[in-house]
C-alpha cells in the first residue's frame, strides 16, 4: 500500500549538525537491560529498530568513567577498547539499515552509589539523592566535587566521546537530566557552590556548557552533539531574565548543541503509565524549546498515533518524534506508516512492564511484543515467523484471552489450521474486566490488535460462546490442543510466613472475579491487597468512584508495592486519595466476622479492628486447569482422536502479568514442531581483547 500523504512530513530528512537523519523517527536513549556483558543481544535489539525504519537509534545510558557505577542496575560502559568493540557491534548493525546511531554518555553523580567500584561518588556539593524506596536506597554518600574533579569529569567525557566516535556513533550525548551529575549543577537543591559553578543560573549552567564544548572537540566535526536535558522542574521556577529558569537555560545554551532532547525530571513523570498520562503528555512542559533555538528538538510522549506525531511537528513542538516504549512495542512502527499499514501498528499500551525489566536488571520485556529481547538469543523476529513444517497441521486453542489470542495469531501466521474457541460471548479473557477499570482502557490494545490481525487469516476460525469439554475436544480431533483457560482469584488470607494460606469462607468475602461479575457490595468495603500490582488499587478506585465507601489494606509498607517497578506508585497514591479511599498499610487480615475485620500489624503483631461489610481479597490466583486434567486423563480417547499434544499456556499454566501470558502463548506457537521447545537459548558473553591475560584458576 502507498503511504498516506498526510504523513509525508514524518519522512522528511532532518539535519543534525554534520549528520542527517533519514526521517523524523527517533528511537531515543532508553535502558534495555542489556549491558556490555550482552553485546550481541544488545546489537540485535537495536538493529531491529533500524530495520523497522527508525531514522536514529540510540543506546541506553553509558558510563563514561568507573566513578559512575549504577550496579546492580544494568548500565553500559565505555571505559576501554573492549567497550569500543562491544558498542561497535551495535553501530554496525544500525548502519546496515541506513539509520544513525546515538550514544547517551552518562555520569550519575550523586544519584549513584558506586556499589561495585566502592569509590565514593561525587556531586556538586556533596548532596546525595535520598530516595524512599528500598531498591534505590544506599548508605554511601557522595563527596563534594573539587575543581580537579570537575576537570576529571570533563576529561572523562571527552575521552568517552572519542571512543564513541571510534566505535562508529553518529550522535554523542551530554546527559543533563533525571537527577544525574550535569542536572545536579542546574538545581540549587543539589548545588550550593559559591564558586564559578554555583549561585546564579549563569554559573550553574557552566558545567553543562563545558561538557558540550569538550564533546564537540572530541566529535571533530564528524559527529553531532546532543543535549538531553530535563526541564520539568526548571520550567516551574521563576527567573529574573526569562519566563522561567528552563527558558533561561535554553536561551543561554541555545544553539550550542546540535540537537535538543527534552524530557521530564523523574521516571514517574517522564515515563508515566497510560493509566495516569495520555499520549503527548509532555507537550505543556517542552513546547517552548523550539521557539528559543534553531537546532532540531526531539521529545517523547508515548506516541503511537501518526496523526498525533504530525500534529506536534506542524504545531512547532518537535522536529523529531522520539520514542522509547512505542519503539519496543513495535520496532517496525515507522515502516508500517511508510507502507500505509497504520492498522498493523502494535501500539504501546503504556503498562511499563519494559521499565520494570530495567529495575529487575534483565533484558527488556514487553506486553505487546513478546519477541523483544529475544532477537539474538532465540532468533525471534517481530514481523517474521517460521512456516509450519507439515503444511497446516490442525491446532485447537481453547480460551480467547491474551495468551490464547497471541497463540492463535502466531500459529495462524505460521500456516497452521487453527480453531480458537472461547467460552464467553466476547474475546478478551481477564481483560474484558480489567480494561474497564480506571485508567486501563489503553490496555484494550492487546485485544484490539490481535483481533484485527486474526480477522485477516483465512486459516483461523474463531468461535465465541463455545464452552468445550474433554469429550468435545476429542470429537474435534485436532492434532494439537492448547489450553489458554486463564486463572481465578481465590479468597485466601495472607500468612505470617508471607504466603497465601487458608480460605476465608464467608458470604461477604469476594474476589475481583466477583466484582467483574457485578456483585452488589455493602458499605463499608475493604479491599485486602497482597497481589501488590495494579489490581488491588484499581479495584479500590473503581469501587470508590462508583459510590462505595472503600478502605484499602495491605501487608506491605506501600500501596501496590510492586508498582514502583512500573512508575505507577506515586500516581496510585494520588488517585486513591482523590477517590477518598482510606489506606491501611503494614496490616494483614486475620479474621472477618460480625461486620468487623481483625487486622494484624506485619511487624509488631498488634491487632486492630476495622468496620467492614464486604471484603474483597486481591491476593492469589490459581490456574483454571480442570479441563487440562480431564483431557490428559482420557489417554485412550486422545490417542484414538489423533491428538498428539495437550499444552497449557498463560495463566492456565502459571498465573502472572499479561506480559507473561502473551509471551507464553507466543513461545508455544513459534516453537511448535520446530525442535526448539526446551532448547537452551544462546548465551551472550562480553567481548575481550585477544591480548587480555587469562585469570589464574584456583584448584
Q: How far is CA 567 from CA 269, 564, 652, 659, in A?
A: 8, 5, 28, 17
Q: In 324-416, at which residue ranges do the beta strands (DSSP E only) sit?
A: 394-398
The cell for 152 is 576529571
- Which range has the worst mean pLDDT, 533-537, 567-571, 632-636, 680-684? 680-684
- Which range has the worst mean pLDDT, 372-381, 524-533, 685-694? 685-694
298 sits in which H/E element:
strand 297-299
5-360 and 394-486+624-671: identical CATH topology: no
CB atoms within 10 A of CB 545: 16
Spatial CA neighbour of 482 closest among 460, 458, 513: 460
The residue behind cell 488491588 is 536
Q: How far is CA 473 from CA 185, 403, 509, 633, in A?
A: 67, 19, 35, 13
pLDDT for 96: 98
Residue range 289-347, pLDDT digits in tens: 999 999 999 999 999 999 999 999 999 999 999 999 999 999 999 999 999 999 999 99
pLDDT for 135: 76
**Residue 467: CA count within 13 A, CB half-sphere:** 4
Mean pLDDT of the chain: 95
14 and 320 Cβ atoms separated by less than 8 Å = yes
pLDDT for 267: 84
DSSP 391: S
Q: How far apart are CA 611 and CA 595, in angstroms?
A: 6
Residue 11: partners with Cβ closer than 8 Å, 6 or more residues away:
3, 23, 24, 338
Average pLDDT rounded to a whole number, residues 585-595: 94
pLDDT for 127: 93
Checking phi first, is residue 579 left (phi over 0); if not, alpha (psi -120 to 50) or beta?
Answer: alpha
Pairing of the two strands 76-77 and 487-490: unpaired
Average pLDDT rounded to a whole number, residues 494-504: 93
DSSP 455: T
Domain boundaries, the chain: 5-360, 394-486+624-671, 491-622
| Whether the predicted pLDDT of 532 surpasses 90 | yes
The cell for 99 is 539509520
Spatial CA neighbour of 44 closest among 380, 387, 384, 383: 380
Residues across the chain? 699
Q: Angle at CA 367, nearest 5°, toward 684 and 280?
A: 110
505 confidence band (pLDDT: 50, 70, 90): confident
Residue range 253-286, pLDDT digits in tens: 999 999 999 999 888 888 899 999 999 999 999 9
186 sits in which H/E element:
helix 181-186
pLDDT for 690: 56
3-class DSSP state of 320? strand
Residue 498: partners with Cβ closer than 8 Å, 6 or more residues away:
555
pLDDT for 697: 40
339 and 1 Cβ atoms separated by less than 8 Å = yes
| Whether the predicted pLDDT of 392 surpasses 80 | no
pLDDT for 266: 85
Average pLDDT rounded to a whole number, residues 580-597: 95
508 and 519 Cβ atoms separated by less than 8 Å = no
Q: How far apart are CA 14 and CA 99, in angstroms?
A: 12
Residues noted as catalytic = 180
Q: Angle at CA 300, nearest 5°, toward 299 and 306?
A: 105
Spatial CA neighbour of 153 closest among 117, 196, 186, 108: 108
pLDDT for 120: 93
CB atoms within 10 A of CB 236: 12
83 and 36 Cβ atoms separated by less than 8 Å = yes
Residue 459: partners with Cβ closer than 8 Å, 6 or more residues away:
392, 412, 415, 416, 417, 418
Q: How far apart are CA 156 and CA 151, in angstroms?
A: 9
| Whether the predicted pLDDT of 694 surpasses 60 | no
Which residues are 77's β-sheet partners? Answer: 63
pLDDT for 680: 74
pLDDT for 689: 75
**Residue 564: CA count within 13 A, CB half-sphere:** 14
CATH assignment, 491-622? 3.50.50.60
695 confidence band (pLDDT: 50, 70, 90): very low
Q: How far is CA 433 from CA 437, 466, 495, 539, in A?
A: 7, 19, 28, 10
DSSP 54: -
247 phi, psi to nearest 5 deg: -60, -40
Domain 394-486+624-671 class, CATH top level? alpha beta
Q: How far apart are CA 143 and CA 326, in angstroms?
A: 39
197 confidence band (pLDDT: 50, 70, 90): very high
pLDDT for 136: 80
| Whether the predicted pLDDT of 165 surpasses 80 | yes
Q: How far apart are CA 93 and CA 54, in angstroms?
A: 13
pLDDT for 268: 85
pLDDT for 673: 93
| Whether the predicted pLDDT of 693 surpasses 60 | no
| 5-360: in CATH 3.30.300.210 | no
Q: How far apart are CA 226 and CA 229, in angstroms?
A: 10
Residue range 234-246, pLDDT digits in tens: 999 999 999 999 9
Average pLDDT rounded to a whole number, residues 150-164: 98
The cell for 283 is 507537550
Helix axes 39-51, 81-95, angle to 10 degrees: 20
Please spell the DSSP secondary structure of 424-448, one letter per residue: SSSS-TTHHHHTTSTT-GGGGHHHH
Q: Angle at CA 421, nearest 5°, toward 419 and 423?
A: 175
Residue range 369-383, pLDDT digits in tens: 999 999 999 999 999
Q: How far apart are CA 141 and CA 639, in angstroms?
A: 67
Spatial CA neighbour of 519 closest among 505, 500, 492, 539: 539
Number of H helices, E strands in the chain: 24, 30
Please spell the DSSP secondary structure of 526-554, one letter per residue: EEEE-S-SHHHHHHHHHHHHTT--EEEE-
Average pLDDT rounded to a whole number, residues 481-498: 97
Amino acid at each position: 500500500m502507498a503511504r498516506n500523504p498526510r504523513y509525508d512530513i514524518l519522512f522528511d530528512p532532518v539535519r543534525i549538525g554534520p549528520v542527517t537523519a533519514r526521517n523524523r523517527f527517533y528511537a531515543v536513549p532508553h535502558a534495555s537491560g542489556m549491558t556490555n556483558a550482552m553485546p550481541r543481544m544488545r546489537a540485535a535489539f537495536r538493529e531491529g529498530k533500524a530495520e523497522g525504519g527508525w531514522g536514529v537509534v540510540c543506546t541506553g545510558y553509558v558510563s563514561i568513567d568507573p566513578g559512575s557505577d549504577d550496579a546492580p542496575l544494568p548500565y553500559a560502559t565505555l571505559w576501554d577498547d573492549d567497550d569500543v568493540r562491544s558498542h561497535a557491534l551495535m553501530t554496525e548493525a544500525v548502519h546496515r539499515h541506513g539509520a544513525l546511531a546515538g550514544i547517551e554518555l552518562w555520569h550519575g553523580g550523586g544519584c549513584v552509589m558506586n556499589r561495585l567500584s566502592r569509590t565514593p561518588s561525587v556531586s556538586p556539593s556533596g548532596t546525595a539523592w535520598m530516595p524512599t524506596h528500598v531498591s534505590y536506597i544506599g548508605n554511601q554518600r557522595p563527596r563534594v566535587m573539587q575543581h580537579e574533579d570537575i576537570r576529571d569529569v570533563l576529561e572523562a567525557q571527552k575521552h568517552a566521546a572519542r571512543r564513541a566516535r571510534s566505535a562508529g556513533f553518529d550522535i554523542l550525548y551530554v546527559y543533563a537530566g533525571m537527577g544525574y551529575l550535569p542536572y545536579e549543577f542546574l538545581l540549587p537543591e543539589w548545588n550550593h557552590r559559591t564558586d564559578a559553578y554555583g549561585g546564579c543560573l549563569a554559573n550553574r549552567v557552566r558545567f553543562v556548557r563545558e561538557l558540550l564544548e569538550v564533546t564537540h572537540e572530541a566529535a571533530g566535526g564528524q559527529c553531532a552533539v546532543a543535549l538531553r536535558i530535563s526541564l520539568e522542574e526548571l520550567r516551574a521556577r521563576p527567573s529574573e531574565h526569562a519566563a522561567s529558569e528552563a527558558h533561561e537555560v535554553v536561551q543561554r545554551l541555545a544553539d550550542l548543541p546540535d540537537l535538543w532532547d527534552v524530557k521530564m525530571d523523574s521516571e514517574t513523570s517522564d515515563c508515566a503509565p497510560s493509566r495516569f498520562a495520555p499520549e503527548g503528555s509532555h507537550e505543556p512542559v517542552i513546547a517552548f524549546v523550539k521557539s528559543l533555538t534553531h537546532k532540531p528538538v526531539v521529545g517523547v510522549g508515548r506516541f503511537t498515533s501518526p496523526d498525533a506525531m504530525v500534529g506536534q511537528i506542524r504545531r512547532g513542538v518537535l522536529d523529531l518524534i522520539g520514542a522509547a516504549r512505542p519503539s519496543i512495542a513495535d520496532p517496525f512502527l515507522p515502516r508500517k506508516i511508510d507502507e500505509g499499514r497504520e492498522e498493523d501498528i502494535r501500539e504501546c499500551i503504556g503498562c511499563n512492564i519494559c521499565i520494570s525489566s530495567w529495575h529487575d536488571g534483565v533484558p527488556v520485556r514487553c506486553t505487546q511484543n513478546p519477541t523483544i529481547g529475544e532477537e539474538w538469543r532465540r532468533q525471534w523476529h517481530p514481523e517474521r515467523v517460521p512456516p509450519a513444517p507439515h503444511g497446516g497441521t490442525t491446532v485447537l486453542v481453547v480460551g480467547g484471552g491474551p495468551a490464547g489470542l497471541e497463540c492463535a495469531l502466531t500459529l495462524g501466521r505460521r500456516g497452521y489450521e487453527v480453531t480458537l474457541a472461547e467460552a464467553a460471548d466476547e474475546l478478551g479473557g481477564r481483560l474484558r474486566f480489567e480494561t474497564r477499570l480506571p485508567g486501563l482502557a489503553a490496555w484494550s490494545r492487546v485485544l484490539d490488535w490481535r483481533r484485527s490481525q486474526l480477522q485477516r487469516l483465512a486459516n483461523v476460525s474463531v468461535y465465541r460462546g463455545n464452552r468445550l469439554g474433554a469429550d468435545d475436544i476429542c470429537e474435534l480431533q485436532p492434532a494439537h490442543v492448547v489450553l489458554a483457560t486463564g486463572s481465578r482469584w481465590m479468597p485466601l488470607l495472607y500468612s505470617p510466613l508471607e504466603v497465601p494460606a487458608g480460605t476465608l469462607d464467608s458470604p461477604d468475602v469476594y474476589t475481583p472475579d466477583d466484582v467483574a461479575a457485578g456483585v452488589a457490595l455493602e458499605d463499608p468495603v475493604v479491599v485486602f491487597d497482597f497481589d501488590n500490582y495494579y489490581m488491588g488499587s484499581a479495584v479500590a478506585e473503581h469501587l470508590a468512584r462508583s459510590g462505595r465507601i472503600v478502605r484499602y489494606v495491605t501487608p506491605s509498607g506501600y500501596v501496590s508495592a510492586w508498582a514502583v517497578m512500573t512508575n505507577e506508585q506515586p500516581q496510585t497514591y494520588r488517585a486513591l486519595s482523590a477517590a477518598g479511599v482510606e489506606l491501611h498499610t503494614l496490616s494483614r487480615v486475620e479474621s472477618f466476622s460480625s461486620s468487623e475485620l481483625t487486622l494484624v500489624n506485619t511487624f509488631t503483631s498488634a491487632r486492630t479492628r476495622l468496620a467492614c461489610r464486604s471484603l474483597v481479597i486481591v491476593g492469589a490466583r490459581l490456574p483454571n486447569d480442570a479441563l487440562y486434567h480431564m483431557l490428559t486423563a482420557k489417554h485412550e480417547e486422545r490417542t484414538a482422536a489423533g491428538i498428539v499434544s495437550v499444552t497449557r499456556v498463560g495463566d492456565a499454566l502459571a498465573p502472572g502479568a499479561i506480559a507473561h501470558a502473551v509471551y507464553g502463548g507466543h513461545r508455544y506457537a513459534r516453537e511448535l514442531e520446530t525442535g526448539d521447545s526446551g532448547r537452551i537459548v544462546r548465551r551472550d558473553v562480553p567481548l575481550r581483547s585477544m591480548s587480555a591475560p587469562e585469570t589464574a584458576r584456583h584448584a
